[in-house]
């Protein structure tokens, strides 16, 4: 289903927001198999976190920019795969399965390994024609994606061999009108986490 959506991106209009309605009506992707498509497009950088298409999406719509955009999307969405094999976009299926198994620790026959592989291959079909220096272009940016989101850790440090980690912490705040409750929570976060 993802492959069909990627095939339709160049021929369909660029929406203001890529919603499930757009996905079903324009792209023809409905049902349970369509559910992960928008999160995948966000993880790869084709959509920003609000669902708006990014410059990478616009580049993917063009024939000339499609291979480089697909390669950049792969590097965004599969950073760990590219940490282990910088030419993963040119790797064959067996090599990709080995890398996925090494990352996940799952057996080769596990269904999740196959899902990860087919998602990777949907973009790989376009990225195989990308020039080798397309990956270097993204590292010359100012450290930001076109949509303003921070870069994944693997792309900001180059090949210096340092381990880089990033954490996302979601805090569910209680409903209260007492500002002191919020101040206490944020003081504690600052003292213990930052």
Write down the mean pLDDT value for the chain: 78
Quick check: 127 pLDDT over 50? yes
Q: Regarding predicted confidence, which is higher, 19 or 132?
A: 19
Quick check: 39 pLDDT over 60? yes
Q: Name all contacts of 65-70 with Cβ < 8 Å and 24+ positions apart.
A: 66/10, 66/126, 67/126, 67/127, 67/128, 67/129, 67/130, 67/131, 67/134, 68/130, 68/131, 68/134, 68/137, 69/126, 70/123, 70/124, 70/125, 70/126, 70/127, 70/130
Q: Regarding predicted confidence, which is higher, 13 or 182?
A: 13
Quick check: 145 pLDDT over 50? no
Using CA atoms, how far apart are residues 38 and 66, in angstroms rounded to an integer?
A: 19
* Region for 130 from its dihedrals, namely left if φ exceeds 0, alpha if ψ lies in -120 to 50, beta otherwise: beta
Q: Regarding predicted confidence, which is higher, 79 or 135?
A: 79
Q: Average of pLDDT values for 113-117? A: 89
Do residues 46 and 53 lie in contact, with contact meaning Cβ atoms separated by under 8 Å? yes
Quick check: 155 pLDDT over 50? no
According to the model, what pLDDT value does residue 143 have?
A: 42
Planar angle of CA 70, 71, 75, nearest 5 degrees: 115
Q: Average of pLDDT values for 125-146? A: 54
pLDDT tier, 177 (very low <50, low <70, confident <90, very high otherwise): confident
Quick check: 96 pLDDT over 80? yes
pLDDT tier, 148 (very low <50, low <70, confident <90, very high otherwise): very low
């Amino acid at each position: 289903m993802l492959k069909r959506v990627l095939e339709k991106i160049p021929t369909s209009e660029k929406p203001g927001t890529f919603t499930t309605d757009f996905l079903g009506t324009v792209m023809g992707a409905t049902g349970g198999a369509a559910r992960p498509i928008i999160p995948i497009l966000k993880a790869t950088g084709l959509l920003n976190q609000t669902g708006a298409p990014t410059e990478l999406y616009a580049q993917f719509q063009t024939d000339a920019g499609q291979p480089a955009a697909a390669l950049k999307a792969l590097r965004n969405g599969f950073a760990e795969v590219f940490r282990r094999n910088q030419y993963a976009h040119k790797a064959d299926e067996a090599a990709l399965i080995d890398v996925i198994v090494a990352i996940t620790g799952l057996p080769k026959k596990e269904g999740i390994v196959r899902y990860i592989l087919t998602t990777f291959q949907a973009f790989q079909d376009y990225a195989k024609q990308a020039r080798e220096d397309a990956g270097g272009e993204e590292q010359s940016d100012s450290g930001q994606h076109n949509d303003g989101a921070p870069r994944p850790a693997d792309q900001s440090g180059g090949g210096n061999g340092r381990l880089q980690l990033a954490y996302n912490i979601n805090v569910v705040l209680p409903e209260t009108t007492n500002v002191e409750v919020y101040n206490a929570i944020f003081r504690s976060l600052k003292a213990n986490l930052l």
